[in-house]
């Protein structure tokens, strides 16, 4: 909640991160889900926050198959250039140990983006990384991995949800993001969520055999709170699976 964010200390925030990981381990202890209804139930487990279009859930071992496919997708690579997927592909060679590495990495939170209805597989990833709890800042990455999910408001809402998580649970006071100069969809999504373009990293990105500028965006905690007050629906992190409710 907005008030609790200001009372959050790095120690409490770290315990919140650890608690999220313990919740994941509970899910992991269950038998592997069977296709069909069992798979649907698995994908609706570990919900962290829910919006009107999408919900965010914890990463599970069964999701590594999705990561493997996304890491080979040239469209995702060109538009996002995710270091997360790059590490899974090139550093870990798609080894299952990558999952454990994600759980023990105290500098990032990785959540899977699921559509509330109409999709039989995840539509993307949202993560906070390079988290500095003492200084109170971290970096944001939201990627839609299914091109059919683009322009439906999924990415915008996923960005809202994980930003609220960063403020409410981790106590972050600032969130940053970088996008390629040609990725106008991501840049516009950030602007719609209240991020301000703060600068340009000239020729800092490399794709398609050439260097590109990277646009740097940032948002402060009070600006996130202002965006939340403007929203039609309040998206809490507490309650039954984070079901959306009207503001009070």
- Using the Cα atoms of residue 153, residue 159, residue 162 and residue 164 in order, give the sign of their dihedral: negative
Q: pTM to 2 decimals?
A: 0.79
Q: How far apart are the first and last CA of the chain?
A: 12
Phi, psi of 129, rounded to the nearest 5 degrees:
-140, 170
Residue whose tokens read 């487990």: 45
How long, in residues, is the chain? 248
Work out the angle between the directed axes of helices 97-104 and 64-71 (0-180°, nearest 10): 100
Per DSSP, the residues of 127-148 read EEEEEETTTTEEEEEEEE--GG
Cα separations in angstroms, 21 against 27, 57, 94, 139: 10, 12, 21, 19
Strand pairing partners for 240?
A: none
Cα 196 from Cα 24, distance rounded (Å): 33
What is the helix (H) or strand (E) element at residue 155, kind and residue range?
helix 154-168
- Using the Cα atoms of residue 131, residue 134, residue 136 and residue 137 in order, give the sign of their dihedral: negative
User: Which domains does the chain possess?
Assistant: 2-29+40-173 (3.40.630.30)
Give buried/exposed letters for 63-85 (b at 16+ CB in 10 A, else e): bbebbeebbebeebbebbbbebb
pLDDT, one tens digit per residue, over 219-235 is 999 999 999 988 765 55
Q: Which of 159, 152, 212 is nearest to 190 (CA)?
A: 159
Beta carbons of 53 and 157 less than 8 angstroms apart: yes
Below-70 pLDDT ranges, the chain = 1-37, 232-248
């Amino acid at each position: 909640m907005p008030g609790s964010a200001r009372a959050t200390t790095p120690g409490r925030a770290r315990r919140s991160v650890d608690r999220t990981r313990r919740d994941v381990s509970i899910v992991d202890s269950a038998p592997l889900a069977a296709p069909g209804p069992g798979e649907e139930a698995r994908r609706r487990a570990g919900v962290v926050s829910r919006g009107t279009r999408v919900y965010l859930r914890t990463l599970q071992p069964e999701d590594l198959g999705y990561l493997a496919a996304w890491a080979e997708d040239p469209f995702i690579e060109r538009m996002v250039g995710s270091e997360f997927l790059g590490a899974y592909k090139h550093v870990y060679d798609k080894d299952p140990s990558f999952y454990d590495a994600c759980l023990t990495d105290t500098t990032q939170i990785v959540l899977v983006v699921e559509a509330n209805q109409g999709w039989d597989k995840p539509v993307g990833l949202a993560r906070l990384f390079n988290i500095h709890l003492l200084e109170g800042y971290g970096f944001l990455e939201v990627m839609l991995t299914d091109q059919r999910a683009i322009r439906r408001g999924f990415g915008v809402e996923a960005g809202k949800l994980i930003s609220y998580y960063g403020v409410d649970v981790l106590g972050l006071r600032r969130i940053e993001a970088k996008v390629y100069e040609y990725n106008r969809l991501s840049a516009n999504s950030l602007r719609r969520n209240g991020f301000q373009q703060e600068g340009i990293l000239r020729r800092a990105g490399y794709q398609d055999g050439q260097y590109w500028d990277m646009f740097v965006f940032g948002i402060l905690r009070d600006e996130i709170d202002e965006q939340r007050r403007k929203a039609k629906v309040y998206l809490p992190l507490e309650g039954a699976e984070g079901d959306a409710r009207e503001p009070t």
